[in-house]
Amino acid sequence: MLPVVRRACEPCHERKIRCLIPPHGGSCQACMTSRRQCYFLPRHKAGRPRRGSRTLSSTLSSRHTTPPLPDPPTENEATELSHDHEWHATSTLPSFMNNALPTSDVSLPADLQTFTSAPLSHPTIITDYFSTNDNDRWDQASVSFATLLEKCGELDQAADMLKELDQRSALAQHLVLILRAIDALCDLCAAFVSENPPSCPKKSLDPALLALVIAANFKVLEVCGLLVSITVSNMQRPHDQLLLKRIDFNLMQTRIALTSMKEQEMTSPLVFRQRLIRRRAFIGRSWP
């Protein structure tokens, strides 16, 4: 039995267009127009094709061969691979982090972009008041009378500057450096207290250094009081108010230091009572 041939030629069947065959025979109109070879093939039977209808070579060529799995690396190769991977990750990490980190907005104030620098209109005056190095943190072993006296002098000059100069201009120009000086002095006082635990004999304490630590705490309270008095005048910029919130932490540091010294009988109850009076004065002020 001969196979049934399609009514449309193979090119028209593949393109799914109408096959118009001339009455006298020959190529269809579509194949004549496109200059294709017009030929007819038998219809495919419905259902699954026979296995033997295709040759083995065509079947293998039509399949997607999967590549063979590589052999597992030896111990030495695995160690070298891990080192290479770590080196690659380390070398690419800084560039990735630089691309991921947001850039600083030029519209923001400079003292909010970085706490360690601020726009200064009188740099010569500032260098006389404060040192511009980054050694604002000290470990416990470096607390000495000379270091503490130097930082007390810087903060004392800052207090005089806030009293004499115009308060608005002084706050706008020197606020960041004043807060840095307060932080440095509070850190030194905290380091002194931690250096002398309750088990430390009181006779081993240097009376001059102890008196200077007490004076340093009251100097911090004095400068914080001046900053608060400028704050309640509502003359500062909004980002200055955010920076002045740091004073709350400094006041807590002085409270912890003086409380610890009172418990260790380093100070008299009168000194601690004076500190409480100043603390209540700060709380009574209107804070923005």
Residues 34 and 146 occupy one common structural domain = no
Residue 228 lies in a domain: yes
- Tell me, what's the pLDDT at 116? 39
Residues 259 and 147 occupy one common structural domain = yes
Residue 67 lies in a domain: no
Residues 140 and 224 occupy one common structural domain = yes
Q: For the chain, what is the domain count?
A: 2
Two tokens, residue 210: 């102890």
Q: Using CB atoms within 10 A of its CB, is residue 239 exposed (0-12), middle (13-18) or buried (19+)?
A: middle
Domain encompassing residue 36: 1-42
Closest CA to 260 of 213, 205, 198: 198
- Tell me, what's the pLDDT at 224? 85
Q: Kindly report the pTM of this predicted structure.
A: 0.43
Residues 217 and 114 occupy one common structural domain = yes
Two tokens, residue 38: 């017009």
Residues 118 and 260 occupy one common structural domain = yes
Question: What span, in angstroms and rounded, lies between the C-alpha atoms of 215 and 187?
Answer: 14
- Tell me, what's the pLDDT at 104? 41
Residues 151 and 228 occupy one common structural domain = yes
Residues 128 and 10 occupy one common structural domain = no
Two tokens, residue 75: 């111990």
State which residues of the chain have pLDDT below 70.
Answer: 1-2, 45-142, 165-172, 198-204, 230-238, 240, 265-288
Residue 265 lies in a domain: yes
Buried b (16+ CB within 10 A) or exposed e, 258-284: bebbbebebbeeeebeebeebeeeeee
Amino acid letter, residue 132: T
- Tell me, what's the pLDDT at 174? 77
Residue 98 lies in a domain: no
DSSP 265: T
Residues 16 and 122 occupy one common structural domain = no
